[in-house]
Chains A and B, each alone.
Chain A
Amino acid sequence: MNFLSIFDVIGPNMIGPSSSHTAGACSMALMARRLCKEPICKVVFTLYGSFAKTYHGHGTDRALLGGILGFGTDDARIRDAFELAKEFGVEYEFVIDEKTITDHPNTADIAMTGVNGYELTVRGESIGGGKIKIVRIGNIDVEFTGEYSTLIIKQNDTPGIVAHISQCLSNQNVNIAFMRLFREDKGATAYTVVESDELIPESILAEIKRNPNVHEIMLVQV
Chain B
Amino acid sequence: MDFRNGQELLELCEKKQMTISQVMKEREITCGTLTDKEIMEKLKTVLSIMKAAVNEPLTHPKKSNGGLIGGEAKKVSDFGNTSRSICGSLLNKAISYSMAVLEVNASMGLIVAAPTAGSSGVIPGVLLALQEEKLYSDELLYDALLNASAIGYLLMRNASVSGAEAGCQAEVGAASAMAASAVVEMMGGTPQMCLQAASIAISNLLGMVCDPIAGLVEAPCQARNSIGAANAITCAELALAGVTHPIPFDEMSDAMLRVGKSIPFELRETAMGGCAGTPTGCSLGCGMCS
Task: Tell me if B46 and A57 are in contact (CB < 8 A).
Answer: no
Question: Known contacts A6-B39, A8-B156, A59-B108; is A17 also within 8 Å of B217 by CB?
Answer: yes
> If A11-B112, A16-B105 touch, does A22 touch B117 (CB 8 Å cutoff)?
yes
In the bound complex, residues from chain A placing their C-beta under 8 Å from that of B204 are: none
Q: Which of A33-41, A71-79, A154-162 contacts B (4 or more CB under 8 A)?
A: A71-79
Write the chain A residue with the least CB distance to B49: A13
B201, CB-defined interface residue at 8 Å: no
CA distance A33 to B212 in the complex (A): 32
Contact with A along B94-114 (1 / 0, CB 8 A): 000000000011111111111
Q: Establish whether residues B152 and A10, one from each chain, have CB atoms under 8 Å apart when the complex forms.
A: yes
Interfacial chain B residues near A5, Cβ < 8 Å: 28, 32, 34
- Contact A12/B110 with A4-B157, A6-B149 known, Cβ cut-off 8 Å: no
Tell me the total A-B contact number using a CB cutoff of 8 A.
Answer: 138
Contact, CB under 8 Å: B218 / A129: no
Cross-chain contact B109 with A16 (CB below 8 angstroms): yes
Q: How far is the CB of B159 from chain A (nearest CB, A)?
A: 13
User: A53, B215: Cβ atoms under 8 Å?
Assistant: yes
When distances are taken between beta carbons in the complex, the residues of chain B under 8 Å from A105 are 164
Q: Which A residues touch B178, using CB under 8 A?
A: 9
Q: Is the CB of B24 within 8 A of A6?
A: yes
Q: Which residues of B contact A14 (CB under 8 A)?
A: 110-113, 117
Q: How distant is the Cα of A22 from the Cα of B32 in the complex, in angstroms?
A: 26
Q: Is the CB of A6 within 8 A of B28?
A: yes
Closest Cβ neighbor of B270 among chain A residues: A50
Smallest CB separation, A92 vs chain B (Å)? 18
Q: Write the nearest CB–CB distance from A151 to chain B, whole angstroms.
A: 19
Say which residue of B108, B113, B153 sits within 8 Å of A79 (CB atoms): B108
Nearest CB of chain A from residue B225's CB, rounded to whole Å? 12
CB distance from B274 to the nearest CB of A (A): 16
Nearest 9 CB-CB pairings of A with B:
A16-B105, A9-B152, A54-B215, A17-B217, A9-B149, A6-B149, A19-B117, A19-B113, A57-B216
Binding site for A on B (CB under 8 A): 24-25, 28, 31-34, 39, 42, 45-46, 49, 64-66, 104-118, 120, 123, 145-146, 148-149, 152-153, 156-157, 161-162, 164-165, 178, 214-218, 270-271, 285, 287-288
Task: Give 21 pairs: A residue, B residue, CB < 8 Å, sorted on A.
Answer: A3-B31, A14-B117, A16-B104, A16-B106, A16-B110, A17-B64, A17-B105, A17-B106, A17-B118, A17-B216, A17-B217, A18-B118, A50-B164, A54-B216, A58-B215, A76-B109, A76-B110, A79-B108, A128-B164, A129-B116, A130-B113
Given A18-B118, A22-B117, 19 extra CB contacts under 8 A: A6-B42, A6-B153, A9-B115, A9-B148, A9-B152, A9-B153, A10-B112, A10-B152, A11-B113, A13-B46, A16-B217, A17-B217, A23-B117, A53-B288, A59-B65, A76-B109, A79-B108, A129-B113, A197-B33
CB within 8 Å of B: which residues of A?
1, 3-20, 22-23, 50, 53-54, 57-59, 62, 74, 76, 78-79, 105, 128-130, 197
